[in-house]
Amino acid sequence: MNSIERLSLLLKTLDAKAKEIDKQNMQHKAHRLIENNNLFSSTLFASQSDQFGPYIKEVSRRIAEFSRLAKANKIDLSKILLQQIEQQLSAISNALLSNSVMHQAAKLSFDANNKVRIKKAKIKQTNKYSDMTKSIMLSSHQLYTKLAEHHEFERRLMDMVAEREITRLQCKQHESEKVSSEVLALHQRLGRCRKAISAIERDIELAEKR
């Protein structure tokens, strides 16, 4: 099997998986948090999209160009293009594997933001109460604001974890240990943040009982 056949076969496999995942992503409400963000850097792909399809098409065009150069016996140019194509295919493969991790983090963030919106809506319904109740709810409002801030911290940390996980999968072996340490540190920060969120939610329950 020559290089063109090998690349075309690999691209065909990735294309089928990409179509399946793009369809799944569009059905997830949490995808709204990461849509309109490019999946890959501009140094690796000319395409800009939050879906895999455009990147698959770009690689397909490059394989066709590689085939043309190879037939024209332009060895040096074809070698450079082949290396770029292999880097792109590797990046797409890693990103497809990391898709579920990225969307899991986005779903947690989406659910957290929705929870905050629901609790804020409850605050607005308390305007009918007495001055004492309003005073209590002011305290609750402050706690909700604090809770919203911590949920935003949580969302950012989860985004960072997902991003570093993708980087870890794409980086070379000798760089993987450093990135893994960074991921561990982010998970520790995330744990402390969630512990603080639980404490604030307990304070809110006590304030509302009063």
24-66 confidence digits (pLDDT tens): 887 766 555 555 567 788 889 999 888 899 999 999 999 999 9
Q: Which residues contact 73 (CB under 8 A, 6 or more apart)?
A: none
- Phi and psi angles of residue 151, each rounded to the nearest 5 degrees, phi first: -65, -35
Mean pLDDT of 176-182: 80
CA-CA distance, 64 to 200, in Å (whole number)? 58
Q: Which residues contact 62 (CB under 8 A, 6 or more apart)?
A: 81, 84, 85, 88
Structure tokens at 172: 């070379």
Q: What is the mean pLDDT of the chain?
A: 80
Q: How many domains are there within the chain? A: 1
- The tens digit of pLDDT for each residue in 114-146 reads 566 666 766 666 555 555 555 555 577 788 888
Residue 104's pLDDT band (boundaries 50, 70, 90)?
Answer: low
CA-CA distance, 130 to 136, in Å (whole number)? 10
Mean pLDDT of 195-204: 86
pTM beyond 0.75: no
- Phi and psi angles of residue 141, each rounded to the nearest 5 degrees, phi first: -60, -40
Least confident of 66-75, 113-122, 189-198: 113-122
Mean pLDDT of 169-180: 75
- Domain of residue 145: give its range: 3-209
User: Which position has the higher pLDDT, 142 or 12?
Assistant: 12
- pLDDT for residue 106 is more than 50: no
- Tell me what pLDDT residue 184 has: 85
**166-172: long-range contacts at Cβ-Cβ below 8 A with a sequence spacing of 24 or more?**
166/94, 166/95, 166/98, 166/101, 166/102, 169/94, 169/97, 169/98, 170/90, 170/91, 170/94
Helix (H, G, I), strand (E, B) or coil at 47: coil
Least confident of 94-108, 130-144, 163-177: 130-144
Helices (H), the chain: 3-27, 53-71, 75-124, 131-170, 173-209
Mean pLDDT of 84-98: 91
Do the beta carbons of residue 60 and residue 8 sit within 8 Å? no
Mean pLDDT of 146-153: 86
How many Cβ atoms sit within 10 Å of the Cβ of residue 17? 16
% of the chain at pLDDT higher than 70: 75
- Tell me what pLDDT residue 167 has: 82
- pLDDT for residue 23 is more than 80: yes
- Tell me what pLDDT residue 183 has: 81
